[in-house]
Amino acid sequence: MITYETISLIAQQGTAVELRPMQPAEAGRLLALLSHPEVQPHIVLRCGAGSQKAVLDKLVHRMIYAYDPCALHAGIYPRGGEELIGTVSLQNWNRHEGKAVLGYMLHPDWWGAGLATEAVGLLLNYARQELGLAKVEGRCRGDNLRSERVMLKNGLALERILPMADGSGDVMKVFTLLHN
């Protein structure tokens, strides 16, 4: 069995946002973001046994302390600012095949300003240049037009539409970006 070391993101600076590793002192802010009622419908939590709070606490811990060698999580901050306003990540990272699943969320107070688009672009550029990823897949609920626009603006193309596993009748849109 092959094990991987965890990798922390090298800070990336854009025009309006910065990406950098999250610090333990930001655990409360990250938990509040994950628990926000406008963010909750857009994230998929696999609760299994235990409460949703226990699952969120475990996720916060994994994101901040980079315990998952198959994921890379970064905080999104306004450029020059200290307030964590969102996260962007590569999940289910398969290093042998050079592919990962894109994840991101932004506090609703910051929606509509192009910050998620810039943060995703910074991470995708880093993923291609520094990590050698050849394929990135992103997903969003069928009604999440903002997230769909973020992916389209960053060069991902709609690949397929799947029914949601929860039986809600909603769909999951799957987008893909291939790097040459």
How do residues 78-98 score in pLDDT, each as one tens digit? 999 999 999 999 999 998 899
**What's this model's pTM, rounded to 2 decimal places?**
0.90
> Who wins on pLDDT, 59 or 66?
59
Cβ-based burial of 118 (10 A; exposed 0-12, middle 13-18, buried ≥19) = buried
| Mean per-residue pLDDT of the chain | 89
Above 80 in pLDDT, residue 47?
no
Q: Quote the pLDDT of residue 112.
A: 94
CATH number for the domain whose boundaries are 12-178 = 3.40.630.30
Q: What is the pLDDT of residues 22-38, one digit of tens each?
A: 999 999 999 999 999 89
Q: What is the pLDDT of residues 115-130, one digit of tens each?
A: 999 999 999 999 999 9
Q: What's the gap between Cα 8 and its chain centre?
A: 14
The partner residues of 163 in beta bridges, in order of sequence, read: 171
Tokens of 28: 């409360």
Above 80 in pLDDT, residue 99?
yes
Above 90 in pLDDT, residue 166?
no
Tokens of 172: 């999951």
